[in-house]
Amino acid sequence: MNIIYLIIHIFEYVVYSYFALASIYVLIFAIGSIFKKKQILVTASRLRKVAVLIPGYKEDNVIVEVAEKALIQNYPTEKFDVVIIADSFQPETIANLKKLPIKLIEVSFDKSTKSKALNKAMSILTTDYEIALILDADNVMAPDFVSKINDAFDAGFTVVQGHRVAKNTNTSFAVLDAVSEELNNSIFRKGHRMLGLSSALIGSGMAFDYAQFKQRMTEIHAIGGFDKELELTLLRDGYTIEYLNDALVYDEKVQKVEVFENQRKRWLSAQFIYFGRFFFSGVKHLLLNGNIDFFDKVYQMVSPPRVLLLGITTIITAFYMFIQIAFPENEILSISSECWFSVFGSVVVAFLLSIPSKFYNKQTFKALLTLPKAFISMFLSLFKLKGANKKFIHTQHGA
């Protein structure tokens, strides 16, 4: 019996250590995010030529409107090109796109991926661009977005992440997705930059030195999560990723639980794959080169997603409190409910600090009622990850 107790206690401490570390991590960067970054006003010495690259797969519902709005920038028209990379679009959509003052590149692959589309487009485009700006096929830039990206490059950055915000909050799941996005913006982007580390990339609303991006993308063949691989290699090589909190890109949020599950399944699969691929390299660069930025990113690949972190710590804390009340003399569990409550409390405080005040309303409260469904969906996704990163999972927009 003592051996069984020992095994249970070891398991307890492993689980507790994992979630305690995750709770402290999000709390530290959440606190960092509440401080305002001192604005350094930069007047750009020159206007760089920008390629706004928008890959899309069967995005007939939204792509024409997105292309039209992408042209509306307070940046000289001769200094930026909107490049639509059209994969499997309808003939009518192609015809409408050809009427616009954009560059249209039609592609077709046996297995479509974002990285393939971007690589194909850059193999066709001229090489006079200085900035590659990546958008998703549903993204709409604020009119000053390109200008602010150019200003950041003038300040010396060559990798920049913009602030992606919700385009829609028309369903409870869309609200939850919007809140989740802002929570991650606070912790993994703004909070990280305030504490001297790099911002996380999101996959869109991001900009790179064009030549560098083109070269690095030839080495990336990811089916899902290409931005994670790109991010890890950039941080490994010592680059800093800037975050522009005031440079807005509007992004369509998922509206149904099925779409939410598919999207998260793809993200989770990519995270675990890249953790395994980069773990030893991350430890090596930390110990030999003091590269905290890279190691921090490797840790993020294995840290629990925020919905799971909140849901699992809630369940475990409630379980320990029940056991402590119902069986005060039990010898099986060695960690007190107070310890788990501190983990749960840290997560809650971190989330409250990270969520913008505009979301403290009745609509968000109503959306929170669907949080258990989101948690169950995401938890079940953990058992459906096999092969998720070997096939292209398309998120339909504008439906």
Instruction: Note whether 247 and 282 are same-domain residues.
Output: no
Instruction: Note whether 290 and 327 are same-domain residues.
Output: yes
Instruction: Note whether 208 and 286 are same-domain residues.
Output: no
Note the pLDDT of residue 129.
98
How many domains is the chain built from? 2
Instruction: Note whether 196 and 76 are same-domain residues.
Output: yes
**Is 172 contained in some domain?**
yes
Q: What is the dihedral of CA 33, 35, 36, 40, to 10 degrees?
A: -90
**Is 261 contained in some domain?**
no
Note the pLDDT of residue 65.
96
Note the pLDDT of residue 41.
60
Note the pLDDT of residue 261.
64
Cβ–Cβ < 8 Å for 88, 108: yes
Tokens 């090489």 sit on residue: 127
* % of residues, the chain, pLDDT over 70: 91
Instruction: Note whether 169 and 60 are same-domain residues.
Output: yes
Note the pLDDT of residue 391.
57
Domain end marker among 208, 233, 256: 256
Note the pLDDT of residue 99.
97
Note the pLDDT of residue 333.
86
Note the pLDDT of residue 271.
83
Cβ–Cβ < 8 Å for 117, 85: yes
Note the pLDDT of residue 398.
62
Residues of the chain with pLDDT under 50: none
Note the pLDDT of residue 39.
63
The model's pTM is 0.91
**Is 358 contained in some domain?**
yes
Note the pLDDT of residue 204.
95
Note the pLDDT of residue 127.
87
Note the pLDDT of residue 370.
86
β pairing state of 159-166 and 242-251: parallel
**Is 156 contained in some domain?**
yes
Instruction: Note whether 245 and 289 are same-domain residues.
Output: no
Note the pLDDT of residue 260.
65
